Amino acid sequence: MVPRWVGRCPECQTWGSIGEQAARKPAALRLASGPVTAPARPIGDVDVEAARAHSTGVGELDRVLGGGLVPGAVLLLAGEPGVGKSTLLLEVANRYAAGQPRRALIVSGEESAAQVRLRAERMGTLDRGLYLAAETDLSALIGHVEQIDPGLLIVDSVQTMAAADVEGSPGGVSQVRSVAASLIALAKSRGMATVLVGHVTKDGAVAGPRLLEHLVDVVLYFDGDRHSTLRLVRATKNRFGAADEVGCFELHDDGIRGLADPSGLFLSDRSRPVAGTCVAVTVEGRRPLLAEVQALVARTNLAMPRRAVSGLDSARVAMILAVLERRGGLRLSTDDVFTATVGGMRVVEPAADLAVTLAVASAACDRPLPPGLVALGEVGLAGEVRPVGGMARRLGEASRLGFTHALVPPGISQPQREIRTREVTNLAQVLTDLGLTRTAAP
Ligand SMILES: Nc1ncnc2c1ncn2[C@@H]1O[C@H](COP(=O)(O)OP(=O)(O)OP(=O)(O)O)[C@@H](O)[C@H]1O
Ligand SMILES: [Mg+2]
């Protein structure tokens, strides 16, 4: 709250989101008791059945939610325009309608019912228990809910709904707040799971007040690269389960499919080893994913050699190139260096440092790494290889996908049976061991 006119919100830094509200008189101190909605009970007598999760029918989403949808729970699904929010939720609503005794209702404020039906036809999802309505008025929405009595309500999107008795335009702070509060009260009173779609602003926050994230039970972010079909759903808040799971999906013309085993997507398959590639194991939430890092090193006549990075953190790659040059004795100042990941994957974890380093060194020496090898570890400025977390999980995933050898940081406590590990302490040593040295410096 601010006591005067301001153009920009001092908390979330958005412009034009502050509305005027008349000051209310503070209420007099009350000590008289009021009626209670339900008597307080000993904790052992509280019925837990009402809070049991029901599967959504979409396995990857259940995984993120920690089992499924809890009756009365309110979810916020946020994502950039066109990422596939409506597609995912149509799939969820259809599976719910098909698998649960209660109906599912989609209220769309952005598309007409006919448009939603066209999409449903494309996806082949037309269950009799799935109802559609195109509406932007909150009281009409509540009317639909009362008529249909759904077990799952999807509101696409919360920013397009407006309450007639609240001032401000749809999507504004006061509208979003009151629409969300009404829908939450409705969900809790009817035991109806509710999913609110939220748009995100350019910098990735949910548009509208941050408050929305506090009000709802679960906040899911849906993201993915425009040029790849991979979509990830992450929970940033979950009142019913862990918030560090990731769900993987593949978006196609004919709908969205869960990817129970996404690791293979980020590896290029080839029979012969090629110089300049190395495989790392990253961890998304709690889920290990294999990622291939590729590098290309080419002689240049430019005074400022090019350093292009795709899918990796450019500051980290710059650091790794400097470490390679100073600690690994590999001169790169007369070469262009390009680094990338496969399949549009984003790898920003320090655990991938060693793989990036080896990919660049292998490209520079034009010498492929041994087949079946993964490299794990953070590389420090002194050229030392440092430990990373989740080692057992990473190695387990690598061996599951057929990798036989792993270069690991020192200090692995439990020996791994299924994959042969070799501890590496510093960069110079691992480069010499793998024969990645340029003997005749150009
Ligand atoms: N008729 C179509 N044929 C093939 N692909 C389509 C068709 N219509 C939409 N798509 C693709 O499906 C993807 C997902 O669209 P969807 O409407 O689910 O996204 P959204 O996140 O709901 O977007 P918005 O924020 O605009 O509501 C889009 O990237 C689009 O390219
Ligand atoms: Mg949409």
Instruction: Identify the top-confidence range among 16-25, 62-71, 255-264.
Output: 62-71
Q: Which of 88, 110, 253 to mutate to test the pocket of ligand 1 (most atoms within 8 A of CB)?
A: 253
What's the rounded mean pLDDT across residues 318-345? 91
Residue owning the nearest CA to atom 3 of ligand 1: 253
For residue 113, pLDDT over 50 is answered with: yes
Cα of 146 vs centre of ligand 2, distance in Å, is: 24
**Res 202: pLDDT:** 63
Domain 51-260 grouped into CATH 3.10.450.50: no
Confidence of residue 180 (pLDDT cuts 50, 70, 90): very high
For residue 204, pLDDT over 70 is answered with: no
For residue 83, pLDDT over 80 is answered with: yes
Confidence of residue 361 (pLDDT cuts 50, 70, 90): very high
pTM (2 d.p.): 0.75
For residue 82, pLDDT over 60 is answered with: yes
Tell whether ligand 1 has an atom less than 6 A from the beta carbon of residue 85: yes
Q: Thinking of the domain 265-433, which architecture would CATH place it in?
A: 2-Layer Sandwich (3.30)
- Whether residue 248 contacts residue 262, with contact meaning beta carbons closer than 8 Å, is answered with yes
What is the identity of the amino acid at 206? V
Q: Which residue stretches of 134-262 are H helix? A: 138-148, 173-190, 211-215
Query: Residue 142 region, left (φ>0) first, then alpha (ψ -120 to 50), else beta?
Result: alpha
CA 79, CA 122: separation in Å to the nearest integer?
22
Burial of 336 (0-12, 13-18, 19+ CB in 10 A): middle
What's the rounded mean pLDDT across residues 203-225? 77
CATH code 3.30.230.10 region(s) in the chain: 265-433
Here the tokens at position 175 are: 């509208």
The interaxial angle of helices 138-148 and 173-190, nearest 10 deg, is 10
CATH code 3.40.50.300 region(s) in the chain: 51-260
Least confident window among 30-44, 310-324, 338-352, 382-396: 30-44
Burial of 108 (0-12, 13-18, 19+ CB in 10 A): buried
Confidence of residue 440 (pLDDT cuts 50, 70, 90): very low
Least confident window among 60-69, 135-144, 266-275, 296-305: 266-275
Tell whether ligand 1 has an atom less than 6 A from the beta carbon of residue 226: no
Residue owning the nearest CA to atom 31 of ligand 1: 82
Q: Which atom of ligand 1 is nearest to the CA of 226?
A: 29
Instruction: Give the number of other CB atoms < 10 A from CB of residue 349.
Output: 20
Here the tokens at position 51 are: 């809070």
**Res 442: pLDDT:** 44
What is the identity of the amino acid at 329? G
Tell whether ligand 1 has an atom less than 6 A from the beta carbon of residue 118: no
Among residues of the chain, what percentage have pLDDT more than 90? 42
Burial of 235 (0-12, 13-18, 19+ CB in 10 A): buried
